[in-house]
Amino acid sequence: MRYAFLVAWREYAENVKTKGFWIGIFIFPLMIWLMLSAERWIEKTRSVRSFVLVDQSNELGEAIDAALERLYQREVLEAFGKWVQKNSAQGPKLPTAEELEQMPALGSNDVVTKWAAGNPELLDEFLRNGGLEAAVAQVRPLLRAEAGEFVAPRRSFQRVALPEGLTATQEPAQLAEALKPYLRHERELVHDAEPVELFAAVLVPADILERVVRPGAMPVLPGKERQGIQYWSANLADTELQEEIEVAVNEEVRRREYEAQGVDTDTVQAVQRTHVPFVALDPKKEAGQETVSMADKIRQWAPVGFVYLLWIAIFTISQMLLNNTIEEKSNRIIEVLLSSVTPGELMMGKLGGIAAVGLTMIAAWLLSLFTILQIKAGQEAQLATELLEVLQGRGLLASFIVYFVLGYLLYAGAFLAIGSLCNTLKEAQNMMGPIMIIMIVPLMTMAFIPKEPNGTLATILSWIPFYTPFVMMNRAAADPPMFDRIGTLILLVATTALVLWLSGRIFRLGILRTGQPPKFMELVRWLRSG
């Protein structure tokens, strides 16, 4: 074992001196820094999307403008809330691990949606009481002295006039044809003496209210949608404006229908806001504490992050081991090492040394993550620590360590055997094809397994040793049956031992071999005779 330890130390020392190791160390914190700064940068660089609205009916334009104005006011309120939280004299109060256990499992967007759904008039009340200016004056005594002034975000959308030469009375087909060069950004129109690119064009026909589809009427057939409102845009990915306008138009049409039927719209709105309380409960929890909390949600979905980290760690470290073995074999360094140690000691040293390199890299990543959070937003680091406590309570970290070690040894043994048979990376890539196909499956299924953690797919994959570390890690939060947990772990340990034993025999016979890699049947003969 002494010689195996010396080999491991040599592998560790040689790899931490490489440029690739230090690039890997520093690129992760750089990515984290960029991700944390992205929202602020995007906010500053986000372009205002300009659109033209031609309402030839003179019936829906006002409703569309009002809906987009409300959308902007919601964006202002959201930015104002973040500004107040950031500049509060007492600092934002984040939940502790105990409070997370009691907090309902609702995200901030869900809370706002549920709150606003029952109180749609609150935004109007806010604006009637002085709007943003009054709100800033009200909270100013609660803010730090150096808080500065609140800067409202730019509008996401702005309505602009038609280009010169076009009028709202032209036929929709003519307008669309004339606006296409602007929508393709081949030409720019002028707004407030500044050139702007046209993001979208909304064309409302004069007889649009006569084309309203009512219950019992013939549905609009495919290809006949142009008889309604036309929304033109070259950006097919950004549909926010389209969705906002569609909702605004349909709400206005329905309001008119209520009035035409003699129905009081205030009564309708009151009925629409009527609801019953609804709560999610977990039968696995103790009596009186069955409510699904934010901590439960964290534990439910945290394994997906662990699976991804597990996959990245195993693949990166195993690939490092493969490259290192091939490089030493092609440079004849292996022959020098084998003059001092046995093949078994060399293999164990390589497995241990490269594993230490990978663990060092992962530890450096986690340390840099917490350091960056402390620098950019100390309260977020506190929250990360509290989330860590929540995860530790269910043994997820212990499961991650166990499955990382076993998964690494399983795949590293296979990679090491391939490295001992190949003289170049090109030869290794051809032999790695089946292993890469195997490793893709956990990535494809990791988002589906938490939804049915004890289903047929999850159970079958759990009993396939090459998938066990990833799938069982993903199922950890769902308390899989004890038979699955113990049985798959025993099978994984046995398979890992078998793979390492077979890899050791291949490594011993193939590490000094030159020329083309052996065929499959030749490998079988090696294993039988070894």
Query: What six digits make up the tokens of 50?
Result: 């300009």
Note whether residue 281 is domain-resident.
Answer: no
Q: Are 498 and 472 in contact (CB under 8 A)?
A: no
Tell me which residue of 156, 128, 196 sits closest to 68, measured CA to CA.
156
| Same-domain check for residues 158 and 300 | no
Phi-psi region of 223 (alpha: psi -120 to 50; beta: other; left: phi over 0): left
Residues with Cβ within 8 Å of 91's Cβ and at least 6 positions away in sequence, in order, are: 379
So what's the pLDDT on residue 490?
A: 95
Which has more confidence, 445 or 51?
Answer: 51
| Same-domain check for residues 222 and 326 | no
So what's the pLDDT on residue 516?
A: 65
Angle of the 240-260 helix axis to the 61-87 helix axis, nearest 10 = 120
Identify the domain containing residue 12 by its residue range: 2-31+296-529
| Same-domain check for residues 390 and 510 | yes
Note whether residue 111 is domain-resident.
Answer: yes
User: Does 180 score more than 70 pLDDT?
Assistant: yes
User: Tokens 């040894």 label which residue?
Assistant: 409
Hey, is 178 helix, strand or coil? helix
CA 208/CA 220 separation, integer angstroms: 13
CA 82/CA 80 separation, integer angstroms: 5
CA 107/CA 100 separation, integer angstroms: 12
So what's the pLDDT on residue 215?
A: 78
Sign of dihedral through CA atoms 164, 166, 167, 172? negative
Per-residue pLDDT band at 113 (split at 50, 70, 90): very low
Distances (CA, A) of 228 to 37, 53, 208: 42, 14, 6
Mean pLDDT, range 273-301, rounded to an integer: 73
Mean pLDDT, range 308-328, rounded to an integer: 78
Phi-psi region of 411 (alpha: psi -120 to 50; beta: other; left: phi over 0): alpha
Mean pLDDT, range 89-106, rounded to an integer: 52
Q: Where are the alpha helices (DSSP H) in 422-518?
A: 425-445, 456-462, 468-475, 482-510
So what's the pLDDT on residue 219?
A: 63
**Phi first, then psi: what are they for 423, rounded to 5°?**
-105, -20
Residue at which a domain ends, from 238, 272, 306: 272
Which has more confidence, 277 or 99?
Answer: 277
Sign of dihedral through CA atoms 133, 136, 138, 141? negative
Tell me which residue of 1, 372, 27, 52 sits closest to 180, measured CA to CA.
52
Taking the mean position of all CA atoms in its chain, how far away is CA 365? Answer: 18
> What does 401-418 look like in DSSP terms, one character per residue?
HHHHHHHHHHHHHHHHHH
Alpha-carbon dihedral 461, 463, 464, 465, rounded to 10 degrees: 130
| Same-domain check for residues 255 and 319 | no
Query: What six digits make up the tokens of 496?
Result: 């890992």
Per-residue pLDDT band at 250 (split at 50, 70, 90): very high
Give the whole-number percent of the chain exceeding pLDDT 70: 77
| Same-domain check for residues 341 and 380 | yes
| Same-domain check for residues 381 and 442 | yes
User: Tokens 């049947």 label which residue?
Assistant: 521
Interval 371-420: pLDDT, tens: 766 565 444 444 555 555 555 556 677 787 888 888 888 888 888 888 77
Taking the mean position of all CA atoms in its chain, how far away is CA 400? Answer: 20
CA 362/CA 476 separation, integer angstroms: 21
In this structure, of 57-71, 394-408, 443-457, 484-498, the range with the lowest mean pLDDT score is 394-408
Residue at which a domain ends, from 212, 238, 272: 272
| Same-domain check for residues 56 and 152 | yes
User: Does 236 score more than 80 pLDDT?
Assistant: yes
Note whether residue 265 is domain-resident.
Answer: yes
| Same-domain check for residues 15 and 52 | no
Note whether residue 481 is domain-resident.
Answer: yes
| Same-domain check for residues 185 and 329 | no
Mean pLDDT, range 295-312, rounded to an integer: 72
So what's the pLDDT on residue 529?
A: 65
In this structure, of 195-199, 204-208, 294-298, the range with the lowest mean pLDDT score is 294-298
Per-residue pLDDT band at 106 (split at 50, 70, 90): very low
Determine what percent of the chain falls in helix, strand and coil, rounding each to the nearest 5.
Answer: 65, 5, 25
Query: What six digits make up the tokens of 200?
Result: 């979208």
Distances (CA, A) of 231 to 162, 201, 203, 241, 443: 15, 6, 7, 10, 38
User: Does 199 score more than 80 pLDDT?
Assistant: yes
Q: Considering its fold, how many domains does the chain have in total?
A: 2
| Same-domain check for residues 231 and 149 | yes
Note whether residue 268 is domain-resident.
Answer: yes
Interval 483-501: pLDDT, tens: 999 999 999 999 999 988 8
Listed ranges 135-149, 163-177, 205-219; the one with the highest mean pLDDT: 163-177
Mean pLDDT, range 304-323, rounded to an integer: 77
| Same-domain check for residues 455 and 359 | yes
So what's the pLDDT on residue 174?
A: 92
The chain-wide mean pLDDT, for the chain, equals 78
Query: What six digits make up the tokens of 331?
Result: 């440079």
Note whether residue 284 is domain-resident.
Answer: no
What is the residue type of 500? L
Note whether residue 152 is domain-resident.
Answer: yes
Note whether residue 38 is domain-resident.
Answer: no
Tell me which residue of 2, 48, 22, 36 sits closest to 379, measured CA to CA.
36
In this structure, of 26-40, 45-59, 433-447, the range with the lowest mean pLDDT score is 26-40
| Same-domain check for residues 410 and 328 | yes
User: Tokens 């470290």 label which residue?
Assistant: 317
